[in-house]
């Protein structure tokens, strides 16, 4: 009787994976799918394949520090000169909800155009700025 149960479990698992759909349809940018902007407590909470760090903002912020321009950042993020004197790769956004897919309410980022991008940005681009 264990063979039918195993087969049933496999079929159910296969159906659940198929029903999930394509991850590209979730509305998240490539940078969000890579983990940029996620809340963190340490670098171990950030995806290791991009070598993202847990940046020192309230609630943490998985990202990169020390970018010179947008080419140093994952797609869907931009290099920003922050008030603290450092440069960071922050998520690009058009609305605050895009900044907080992976952040708790108490540590929400803001979608802001009141920042300094290292590259010239056209079209009123904004970035997700984490709380300090």
The residues pairing with 31 across neighbouring beta strands, listed in sequence order, are none
Which segments within 21-107 are labelled E, that is strand? 53-55, 61-65, 77-81, 87-93
What is this structure's pTM? 0.74
Which pLDDT belongs to residue 5?
38
Residues 6+ apart with CB under 8 A from 115: 80, 81, 82, 90, 126, 127, 129
- At 5-58, the pLDDT tens digits run 332 232 233 333 223 333 444 567 778 788 899 999 999 998 877 788 999 999
């Amino acid at each position: 009787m264990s063979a039918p149960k195993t087969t049933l479990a496999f079929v159910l698992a296969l159906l659940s994976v198929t029903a999930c759909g394509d991850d590209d349809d979730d509305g998240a940018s490539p940078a969000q799918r890579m983990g940029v902007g996620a809340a963190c407590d340490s670098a171990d909470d950030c995806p290791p394949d991009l070598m993202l760090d847990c940046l020192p903002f309230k609630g943490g912020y998985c990202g990169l520090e020390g970018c010179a321009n947008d080419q140093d950042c994952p797609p869907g993020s931009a290099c920003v000169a922050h008030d603290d004197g450092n440069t960071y790769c922050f998520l690009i956004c058009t609305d605050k909800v895009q900044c907080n897919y992976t952040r708790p309410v108490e540590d929400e980022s803001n979608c802001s155009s009141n920042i300094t991008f290292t590259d010239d940005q056209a079209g009123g681009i904004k970035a997700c700025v984490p709380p300090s």
